[in-house]
Structure 1
Amino acid sequence: MSPAGFAGLRLGAPGVYRDARRPPPSFRPVRLDIAGFVGVAPRGPVDEPVAVDRWTDYQRHFGGFEGPGLLPYAVRAFFDQGGVRAHVLRVAPLPRAPHPAAEEACALHRITLARADAPGAEPGSGAPCAIGLRARNEGSWGGRLTVRWEFTGAGQFEAAATGRDLALPEGRSAPAGSVLRVRGAGLPPAGTFFRILEMAERQDASGQRSRVAVLDRPPGGGIGPGRGARPLTVEAEVVTATVTVADGDPAYPRQERFAELGMGPAHPRYAAAVLAAESVLVAPDGPWPAALLPPDAFLGSALSRPVRPGADRYEGIGADGFHGPVPVELLPVGGAESVEDPGSFEAVGMDRMALVPEVGLLCVPDLLWQYGEALPTTETPAREVGARFAPCPPAPAPMTLHPARPRGLLLDSAAQLPEILRRQQRLVALAERQRRFVALLDVPPGLPLRAVARWRAAFDSTYAAAYHPWLGVVAPDDPDRLAVQVPPSGFAAGIIAERERSLGLPWGPANALAAGAVTAVQRLGDADCDELHLLGIDVFRAERDGYRLASARTLSRDPDYVQLGVRRLMTMLRLVLDRQAQGLAFEPHTPQLREELRGAVVQLLRGLYRSGAFAGDSEDEAFFVRCDEGLNPGWSQGLGRLVAEIGVAPARPLEYLVLRIAQDADGAVAVT
């Protein structure tokens, strides 16, 4: 292509030139299939959303089904239905860390090493010193941890020591903060430890420069560097630590290993810093001494000992664990810049999850949480007698049966309905405030049909959907194979996510079986399902092959937003334009810019139209985009505004098939 083909680009000598022109804007659909789950778990970070891409990711961070919460059942259902990504947040009772009560709930372990700077200690061997490692988060799970420190000496070399300077051979190096085990004249046979304070360069009398390690003390009787110093030849090796953390969870054992660690803050892989930043299981407890050493010169290993077992605080979890005191109206809109930056205030529970920009579906399976202590039961075994007449054997002694796991209760659906509504309305208010996700509600279990209608009357939102009834699943690790009642929203979230990924937003997220559901809390007849459907409640209907989600509606009374697919489609369009048009800010307001914006929006809508998202026999009937002088007069441009008007006709999912059956005089049957 000739240089004239690059308008505005001046070419000189042959080479690679950057075209400084701004590419025209283009818009791409955003994902709404990522779910957020908030609930009770036996382990895991508190009030910190964690991204998980599979069920094993959840197990690694939050454990399995051993706790009383319903969170694991909902997340497992989501992935079983076809979901591929979720954010999970664990709730905890007040007070939270760093309050002493929360800190006491974290297990604590101690390990005995040596400390070189202890008063009266021999610098080369130090004095015994116990350092603390606490479980990364609260719960009795931390009592199963074991931590082993192993020490390795590697890269042995000979070097000349002059005072505190140790001349390193060519090609040898060690970072500041390293520990050396040194052998030589006047030193113990097993060697003694020296710490490298810094690396420096020295110049001898001939002007030759060499790299030396400055030690914490002279290894021999030298008089110090400089004129008249007597070099001492020693053998040295760099000592590093390897920390292995093992979790003895019988259901999902975990192990972490951190190698080549240093024992001083100046080391680039200082053990305390690496464990604090990278370990999922432990964190340093309190400040560590700056001059740690191995426990002995023979590089023996050190094993942790438990000091505090940790505790589960299930009994303290209440409504304040699921949301903070900040009113919904004061929460940020549009999500925080990142998951790690919730803003200038402390958001907890579902308030915190609502700030994750990725979340398109929000479920709180433990929102009806009310803890109930699992009490032992007494059972008297049956008396065994033989077939002959004989004196009766003595009655067997009663047996006390202790529950294998804690038990979580739900708020009473009838007596505590106002409290249930208060919690669920807070969740819906969050969705309406953020306008990025849909809140998936669970109809309180056990309510009769009339009570369900009264419950439904408390909601009118396009950003909420309700599911009914609760379903029964069997936990894989339950030896008794008993069905557990779980909220249906977890199944619904997985169905919605799978339909979006496989078929796209235009397809209604329904007509799919609940994976793993073996029973339902309530049996609903055809008349019940009909009435619930008219109320806008999405029902899992019992069929021969399982429980099938029969509809995909919102809790809105606005007929334009009754269908969940329509709500999600419009949300996606708003998010695309809101996020991807930010780059147009401060561009010169020209007819070319308006035409580029219009063309980019048309391309986006055209792709959606071809995928079936819009109704109409042609693009003109399906959507329109206006961005002209009529919408952008001179006075509007003077205010720095660019206005575009977009209209779409969303396609509505097919819900009813009407068949007409007629029989003519000859007896022939026709179905139309």
Structure 2
Amino acid sequence: MSRPAARRLPGIRFEVQAPPVEDVLPRMDVAAFVGFAASGPLHVPVAVEDPADFEAVFGEAPLLAWDAERGEPVRAHLASAVRAFFRNGGRRCWVVRVAGAQARANTFPVPGVLRCSEAGVVTPGVARARSEGSSTDGVQVSATVTRELLELGPWSALGTVVQLEVTMPGGVAPGDLLRLTLGNGAMALLVPVDTAEALDAMQALPASGSVPRRVKVRVRTSRARWLQTGVGLGTAPFTAKWTRGEGPPVSLNVTDVEDPGPLASRRTLTLTLDTPPEAAPAPGTVLRVEGATPGERWLVVESLELGHGASPGTGTVRVSGLASRVLVAAPENPTALSVVCERLTLNLWTRRDSEQPARLDRLGLCPTHPRHWASLPTDVERARDEDAEALPGRAPEVRLPEDWRQGVPVSRFPLAGPKPGPDAEAFSFPLGLTDVPEGWLGCTPPPGDALERDGLSTFSADLFLDADVRETGTEALLAQADFLRYQSSEPRALKGIHSLLGRQDVTLVAVPDAVHRPWVRASTPPPPEPLPGEAPAAPAWGTFLDCALVMPAAPTPLVADPAKPVAGQAFTLRWASVAGTDLVYVLEEATRPDFSDAVELYRGPARERTLYGRTSRAWYYRVRVQQGPVSGPYAPGVAVPVAPRVRWNLEHVSAYSPKPLLAVQRALLRLACARGDVLAVLGLPEHFREDAAIAHVGSLQSPLGGTSDVVPALGFAEENALSYGALYHPWAFVSEEQQPTVPLRMPPEGMACGVLARRAVERGAWVAPANEPWRAVVALTPPLSRERLLDLQDAQVNVVRQEPRAFLTLSADTLAVTPEVRPINVRRLLSLLRRAALKLGAAYVFEPNDASFHRLVQRGFEALLGDLFVRGAFAGRTREGAFQVVTGDALNTPAHMEQGRFFVDIKVAPSLPLTFLNVRLVQSGDRGLVTEAR
């Protein structure tokens, strides 16, 4: 939903614009996180500047499984990792949502909206969720129409060709939809504006405030359609078709039609549909009614009434509304009738539970309108269109309009336009819509439960990796990625972590959701069917009874909506009405199918009851009618299986296999090494103790480790890739701002990236990111033995420790087997030099390759390295002892110069962190002296 932007008091305000800061060194604080989210584009990096940005696009952390050992739900770690990153000092990150290929988006029928194609085919309007997944399951959609009156001049209509002149403030433009309502409103002409030619402009009469300019416009179109409202259905038999979303429409048999006739003041039709009440079309639904008479009629359901049936799951419903049909031919002499001309725009509304509805106003109804409702972008389209770096040649006028963003959103508008169909759309038009949202329709989810539609039913390394790159070695990784993106017969974007290869500003990468244990589906057998209720007690025959005494009928059917709720979800029981007066409906609830433990829930005249807070189990309900002292029979009972909120169980620790984690981390190390300027921040599962953590590091470092989920081990030639990864353990309990009293357990990658980013911003990437407090951490899990800390340090695991002043790490090591590049600050310094050299070296391309050019390059790089030396990036007392820039003739031979090649050797001595501070206490006489020594 959206909230209005903050308002300001009227007046003049001066803003001081700070001068731009010269970008001396490349940024080394931008991170990237890959994991599971409830919404957002799949496999497309999205820039995030703060936690509110993340929540607006990706929503809350999705629920994954149930941990039976702890008795708690398991959620994705991506959201908490991003929050921890910003909490610990991060300023900017990229987020990639990943899921399997089975992820599907919900579809929403839009109440009272029809689409007309260029060929004249009319179909109901259907919108999509803005992204794949089940996050929009609880969203409902409504629509209203905004009408603006126009002054109509001469007009003519010949079939679908219409020409007219209108006058209104601001005029009209191509893409507008005009509606000419004739006579009593039974006939209207829909005019999509193809061309608009301004004839003159005149000022309106002076009034208070500003004076609007009235523009006279000549409008032409060749795609007009006539809409006749309040028509009959023709000859029986009838069939009503209901488009609930993607796929074929649902056909409903019409068993009876009540038609007041053409002379009625309002020709409201009532259709009896042969369908169970739980499958009945809700108010706002557009039905296409077909009969023996040629042509189709469109009826918007205004009211719904449950009918009668013989057993649960079957029955009839009665729907009422006005029927309309779309015509090509005009009525006789239409220009002789009184006409009202309006410009129509559409307003889309969405709501979720008790939240305030969100809306998008003044959307166009024609494809050429700049805010066409069917052009609402999906998350993938928006991410790619707003990315100026990825699409530098895209013209600004083709980009998304700024006003799609709705000011300051709490969350993005949940809808997107429909998928493009085979027929081009001419225009859309409203049917039965007013300026107040009335009918609200829910989504039509694809088959499968929530986790399946999220694409997360199977946990594996394939969720995080691109299938065509995951087995590629470090040397060929970039070439293979470029081939897939640009040179293959079907170029495509990469998926998973490999989608970050094009993000040149990323220097830290983490995959916090790779440490999950897999989950399996929980088995839930169907509940037993309810048994028939006992017969009602017979009246006291043989005594004087009221002659009008009649036993009431059973209020069949009794249905639940939804039929299979989850724990904590409200559901509504509805039953049909029974003829008679002074009726009292009695609803009973039981936990046994024979109703032996039934209790009375409700007694009164209402025909529905909403229940809340039912726990996970099967509940049984039955209803009867009581009229005075006489009780009628029970309607057939209904079983309502309340499923647990999570239908997937986390695998036991004993069944855990580290192969998916090894595969993801190996691929991540290869990606970081191929880029040459990225550090992979790695984590471990929570249950890993000291020996398991050390063994996992050995598996990552061993070139003989074999394959894990098709990803081979890092070979002998890829040993350098280990220096591009740093491993952190254990997990932490974090007190977050939203729930400070309930600490959240999370892996350490997000906090470690935040500390790395903070250190790079405040002091430089060449300073070791250790001995820095991790913010909001209140405890660690699992508690590691202090006697084993040295073993973990020797295994190059950066252990998060509880020290007197804070929770922090006292080591900052990569997984490198070479001691020279083992410290994180050394690897980060070399990455910084690489990025700086690429930036500086680009300015020297196509310069004359002579001795003066050599000196120019040498001075440029010496100035860069000299600045780093002053900041403390290098060891040594002098500049000559800290770095060297070699461009001499021994390196650049005449043969190289003839080939147009130029080499620069940069030799540096990175500064190493002080890891031990020895404090020596010396007793001298009656005084104590304290000296420091390394």
Contact 1:42–1:312, Cα closer than 8 Å, also in 2: no
1:36 paired residue among 26, 32, 37: 32
Q: May I ask how many residue pairs the two structures share in their alignment?
A: 593
The answer to whether structure 1 residue 70 and structure 2 residue 77 are counterparts is: yes
- In the other structure, the counterpart of 1:292 is 428
- In the other structure, the counterpart of 2:178 is 180
The 1-side partners of 2:786 and 2:840 are apart by 46
The answer to whether structure 1 residue 112 and structure 2 residue 112 are counterparts is: yes
The alignment-based identity, stated in percent, is 26
The answer to whether structure 1 residue 590 and structure 2 residue 850 are counterparts is: yes
The answer to whether structure 1 residue 153 and structure 2 residue 143 are counterparts is: no
CA distance 1:614–1:469, change in 2 (3 Å): same
The 1-side partners of 2:652 and 2:832 are apart by 35
- In the other structure, the counterpart of 2:257 is none
Alignment of structure 1 residues 49-68 onto 2, 5 Å: 49-67=45-63, 68=75
> What is the DSSP-based 3-state SS (H/G/I as helix, E as strand, rest coil) of the residue aligned with 1:620?
helix
1:369 paired residue among 491, 497, 516: 516
1:136 paired residue among 130, 134, 147: 130
- In the other structure, the counterpart of 1:497 is 757
The 1-side partners of 2:668 and 2:62 are apart by 27
- In the other structure, the counterpart of 1:23 is none
- In the other structure, the counterpart of 1:438 is 679
> What letter corresponds to residue 464 of structure 1 in structure 2?
G
The answer to whether structure 1 residue 197 and structure 2 residue 176 are counterparts is: no
Q: Deviations over 1:460-501 (max 9, x none)?
A: 41101011112223566679x655432112111110011111
Residue range with higher mean Cα deviation, 31-40 or 293-302: 293-302
The 2-side partners of 1:215 and 1:453 are apart by 74
The 1-side partners of 2:199 and 2:929 are apart by 106
- In the other structure, the counterpart of 2:730 is 469
Q: Deviations over 1:202-255 (max 9, x none)?
A: 99xxxxxx9521144599xxxxxxxxxx9999663422223234455x7xx697
- In the other structure, the counterpart of 1:454 is 695
> What letter corresponds to residue 282 of structure 1 in structure 2?
L
- In the other structure, the counterpart of 1:48 is 44
**Structure 1 residue 566, shift from structure 2 partner:** 1.1
The 2-side partners of 1:417 and 1:435 are apart by 27
- In the other structure, the counterpart of 1:357 is 504
Contact 1:178–1:239, Cα closer than 8 Å, also in 2: yes
Contact 1:465–1:554, Cα closer than 8 Å, also in 2: yes
- In structure 1, the gaps of 5 or more residues are 1-25, 122-126, 204-209, 220-229, 378-397
**Structure 1 residue 346, shift from structure 2 partner:** 4.7
> What is the DSSP-based 3-state SS (H/G/I as helix, E as strand, rest coil) of the residue aligned with 1:472?
strand
> What is the DSSP-based 3-state SS (H/G/I as helix, E as strand, rest coil) of the residue aligned with 1:161?
strand
CA distance 1:85–1:247, change in 2 (3 Å): farther
CA distance 1:295–1:75, change in 2 (3 Å): same
Kindly report the root-mean-square deviation, in angstroms, between the aligned alpha carbons of the 2 structures.
4.0
- In the other structure, the counterpart of 1:224 is none
The answer to whether structure 1 residue 331 and structure 2 residue 332 are counterparts is: no
The 1-side partners of 2:508 and 2:347 are apart by 42
**Structure 1 residue 170, shift from structure 2 partner:** 9.0
Q: Deviations over 1:171-230 (max 9, x none)?
A: 75322231113357x674996532223235899xxxxxx9521144599xxxxxxxxxx9
More strand by share: 2
- In the other structure, the counterpart of 2:369 is 267
TM-score (norm 2): 0.57
Contact 1:192–1:297, Cα closer than 8 Å, also in 2: no
**Structure 1 residue 88, shift from structure 2 partner:** 1.2
The answer to whether structure 1 residue 611 and structure 2 residue 871 are counterparts is: yes
The 1-side partners of 2:356 and 2:45 are apart by 21
**Structure 1 residue 508, shift from structure 2 partner:** 1.4
- In the other structure, the counterpart of 1:214 is 220
- In structure 2, the gaps of 5 or more residues are 1-21, 64-74, 201-215, 227-334, 383-403, 405-411, 525-613, 618-642, 702-721
The answer to whether structure 1 residue 529 and structure 2 residue 634 are counterparts is: no
Contact 1:376–1:400, Cα closer than 8 Å, also in 2: no
The 1-side partners of 2:862 and 2:649 are apart by 52
The answer to whether structure 1 residue 166 and structure 2 residue 271 are counterparts is: no
**Structure 1 residue 671, shift from structure 2 partner:** 3.6
- In the other structure, the counterpart of 1:240 is 345
Q: Deviations over 1:494-537 (max 9, x none)?
A: 10011111122232112122222222223234432233223322
2:494 paired residue among 327, 347, 350: 347
- In the other structure, the counterpart of 1:18 is none
- In the other structure, the counterpart of 1:10 is none
Alignment of structure 1 residues 358-397 onto 2, 5 Å: 358-372=505-519
The 2-side partners of 1:553 and 1:373 are apart by 36
- In the other structure, the counterpart of 1:21 is none
**Structure 1 residue 282, shift from structure 2 partner:** 1.8
TM-score (norm 1): 0.78
Q: Deviations over 1:575-620 (max 9, x none)?
A: 2222442343233323343333222212211221111111222222
The 2-side partners of 1:576 and 1:144 are apart by 49
> What letter corresponds to residue 264 of structure 1 in structure 2?
C
> What letter corresponds to residue 214 of structure 1 in structure 2?
R
Contact 1:158–1:233, Cα closer than 8 Å, also in 2: no
**Structure 1 residue 133, shift from structure 2 partner:** 1.1
CA distance 1:405–1:355, change in 2 (3 Å): farther
Contact 1:111–1:302, Cα closer than 8 Å, also in 2: no
CA distance 1:588–1:154, change in 2 (3 Å): farther
The 1-side partners of 2:90 and 2:119 are apart by 59
> What letter corresponds to residue 171 of structure 2 in structure 1?
S
CA distance 1:201–1:85, change in 2 (3 Å): closer
The 2-side partners of 1:150 and 1:520 are apart by 53
Contact 1:518–1:546, Cα closer than 8 Å, also in 2: no
- In the other structure, the counterpart of 2:96 is 89
The 2-side partners of 1:425 and 1:491 are apart by 22
Alignment of structure 1 residues 18-33 onto 2, 5 Å: 28-33=24-29
**Structure 1 residue 545, shift from structure 2 partner:** 4.6
Contact 2:798–2:810, Cα closer than 8 Å, also in 1: yes
CA distance 1:399–1:134, change in 2 (3 Å): closer
Q: Deviations over 1:440-475 (max 9, x none)?
A: 111343344344333222344110101111222356
Contact 2:140–2:443, Cα closer than 8 Å, also in 1: no
- In the other structure, the counterpart of 2:640 is none
**Structure 1 residue 77, shift from structure 2 partner:** 1.2
> What is the DSSP-based 3-state SS (H/G/I as helix, E as strand, rest coil) of the residue aligned with 1:659?
strand
> What letter corresponds to residue 36 of structure 1 in structure 2?
A
> What is the DSSP-based 3-state SS (H/G/I as helix, E as strand, rest coil) of the residue aligned with 2:196?
strand
CA distance 1:155–1:584, change in 2 (3 Å): farther
**Structure 1 residue 262, shift from structure 2 partner:** 1.7
CA distance 1:525–1:616, change in 2 (3 Å): same
**Structure 1 residue 261, shift from structure 2 partner:** 2.2
> What letter corresponds to residue 328 of structure 1 in structure 2?
T
> What letter corresponds to residue 38 of structure 1 in structure 2?
V
> What is the DSSP-based 3-state SS (H/G/I as helix, E as strand, rest coil) of the residue aligned with 2:148?
strand
**Structure 1 residue 638, shift from structure 2 partner:** 0.9
> What letter corresponds to residue 43 of structure 1 in structure 2?
S
CA distance 1:621–1:236, change in 2 (3 Å): same
Contact 1:553–1:564, Cα closer than 8 Å, also in 2: yes
Contact 2:29–2:761, Cα closer than 8 Å, also in 1: yes
The 2-side partners of 1:604 and 1:335 are apart by 32
Contact 2:516–2:685, Cα closer than 8 Å, also in 1: no
CA distance 1:376–1:74, change in 2 (3 Å): farther
2:442 paired residue among 276, 285, 306: 306
The 1-side partners of 2:371 and 2:615 are apart by 56
Alignment of structure 1 residues 478-493 onto 2, 5 Å: 483-493=743-753
Residue range with higher mean Cα deviation, 648-657 or 39-48: 39-48
- In the other structure, the counterpart of 1:102 is 103
**Structure 1 residue 27, shift from structure 2 partner:** 8.5
CA distance 1:162–1:346, change in 2 (3 Å): closer
The 2-side partners of 1:302 and 1:290 are apart by 27
CA distance 1:643–1:90, change in 2 (3 Å): same
